A and B are shown apart, each in its own frame.
Chain A
């Protein structure tokens, strides 16, 4: 058994327990436990019961390029996020100058991953909730065309990853200094028409999700993302928050900490002041919406729902849809400007020190920190994925949301709780090596 079984003796006459033993339509294995007494939430938990994989230990004794292949395996949905965060961290320590064309190709890879990941979540995992359906398979029985659009969009994201990265899941082309091989212009040319189509599909996605009715829910959280002077945050930028934080991306630890809470097998992130915070597409739009591609900005403005993004997490599907427009439009711009680099990778020399970086994974800010010896071998690591950072906010939001659905039949209320959790797009496989089973008590 994991942890304690609640802070109240079970069986009190006025106590209700809402529980989902295995959450569905999320990446990885997690469960939900919510205990209510006298109409008050006394415990709200998102349990993650994936077994730990010890990635921070697996990378010890390995070279930077070996680390890129290992950390990809933290997540089958967002391997590029892990690879890019690590490669930037090492290059920053070693002082490697990256050719602008290589930087553009890496951003193209990230666009592909955002498209693939967001299309998966919007169409296959999340949309069924707004239509009262258990899956996209059921949705396809009612409206096959809408699911086919989502699959097409997802496929185009995966095509980018395959052409630039070698394959869609666990790509193989990144190395410290650049890429193993840079594609020729003609190898990318076929993507141009696909991206025109993807952009159109993404714009349709924004219009579709704008019509979805969401539960009324307001929770103003501390939002955190990267922010860059000239780009929408992806692989680069400073760490900013709605509280005015402004920090170099390597300095995550100056503002945040990980802790292991009793009854948990997880390292759990909070601000040094102990505050829960929220990462991800809605946070990025709230903090860096002025950097969206003009076409994404236009789609967001037309939705008329931007203000809700920062306060109602059920609207996060709109943020993902807007980022689908951004990623397809930016990918198209990158293709149009692409000139192959003179060399696919710059030479580098190892240097002892700390290699740290943060990027924006599809689910939010991802921080890596490696202690590296003079030969370039990793001697220690800290990897902080977005889902383990979001967990405190998810549990606090569960407790805050609960009173509004307690009058509903038990099964329906439970369904709404599960839907709330799905709105954060939790990636439990990512968070798994930080297993988190903490309790959130609400006064």
Chain B
């Protein structure tokens, strides 16, 4: 037999999410067939009926943990995986559904469902890293196609993928986009948000709403103060943080209870 280099065995699975991050892989239209040749895609239920229980050299996990059976499943997957990669805001920070961590889930269930006793959900929505060791994270809501390409390329050559931790502001400066906060008094999360999107919101004249989550050591209080100078009430200013990465630790202490619900007990004391 000719010597064949073994292709990395890749899986793509989802937990609680919108499918947008795994769709980003299918949106690499120009590279998809080449990727399918260089990687052995052994499990990707959204795209193929060929199934495998692993083992996986690389497993992409989309979605947050919000139901009891997902915890068990995640541990099983981890045991069969060499490199587990959390993809997107749901997997890395809990996603938009983590806003219910500031509310009482039983109240929410009864406001949406006539018979909430039939639902099986955890009290709290959590990222993958709260439950198992995560080897790499791709941020974003959704993840960036460029960062996914970078990750896959690095995986093939065995190098470390490069994801900058700089603020969206630097991307605006590089692209020559006028600052929407300074020039337009638009509340913008750019100063505390990690780049990766390409500054697409400032590019259309609106403030960043934080899809890629907080960068390291963000100065959140200073930004909230600036929002109030721009005319926002304190609760309006804080609500700007209550988005897709609200449960990320640097933002968590500043999130107001949404919609006037009472905060969940001990909501700020976790981990």
Q: Which residues of A contact B (CB under 8 A)?
A: 2-3, 22-29, 50-54, 56-58, 60-62, 66, 69-70, 73-77, 79, 120, 124-125, 128, 134-138, 140, 144, 147-148, 151-152, 154-155, 158, 166-170, 172-173, 175, 179-181, 260, 263-265, 267, 418, 429, 433, 435
Is the CB of B205 closer than 8 A to any CB of chain A?
yes
Known: A167-B200, A265-B118. A75 touches B41 (CB 8 A): no
Min distance, Cβ B261 to any Cβ of chain A, angstroms: 8
Bitwise, B248-270 to A at CB < 8 A (1) or not (0) is 00000000001110000000000
Describe A's contact surface by its main secondary structure.
loop
Complex formed: what's the CA distance from A197 to B65 in Å? 42
- B residues 103-160 in Cβ contact with A at 8 Å: 103, 108-109, 111-115, 118-121, 141-142
Contact among B14, B50, B118, B209 for A69, CB-based, below 8 A: B209
Q: Is there contact, CB below 8 Å, between A151 and B32?
A: yes
Contact among A66, A179, A260 for B114, CB-based, below 8 A: A260
Q: Which 7 A-B pairs have the closest CB atoms?
A: A76-B20, A61-B259, A135-B48, A60-B259, A155-B29, A134-B49, A180-B204
Known: A134-B50, A135-B50. A57 touches B27 (CB 8 A): no
Given A56-B111, A136-B47, 11 other A-B residues pairs in contact with their CB atoms under 8 A: A24-B48, A52-B66, A52-B112, A61-B259, A62-B239, A73-B20, A76-B20, A138-B50, A140-B33, A151-B30, A180-B201
Q: Can you sample 11 A-B contacts with CB below 8 Å?
A: A22-B45, A25-B48, A27-B19, A29-B14, A29-B45, A54-B97, A54-B108, A73-B95, A140-B36, A173-B204, A180-B206
Contact among B18, B203, B244 for A166, CB-based, below 8 A: B203
List, in ascending order, chain A residues with CB within 8 A of B259's CB: 57, 60-62
Q: Is there contact, CB below 8 Å, between B113 and A76?
A: no
Q: How many residues of B contact A (CB 8 A)?
A: 63
Q: Is there contact, CB below 8 Å, between A175 and B108?
A: no
List, in ascending order, chain B residues with CB within 8 A of A134's CB: 48-50
Of A137, A138, A418, chain B has the most CB atoms within 10 Å of the CB of: A137
Complex formed: what's the CA distance from A168 to B140 in Å? 13
Q: Is there contact, CB below 8 Å, between A124 and B26?
A: yes
Q: Is there contact, CB below 8 Å, between B95 and A181?
A: no
List, in ascending order, chain A residues with CB within 8 A of B33's CB: 137, 140, 144, 147-148, 151
Complex formed: what's the CA distance from A22 to B41 in Å? 17
Q: Is there contact, CB below 8 Å, between A60 and B41?
A: no
- B residues 55-106 in Cβ contact with A at 8 Å: 66-67, 70, 95-97, 99-100, 103
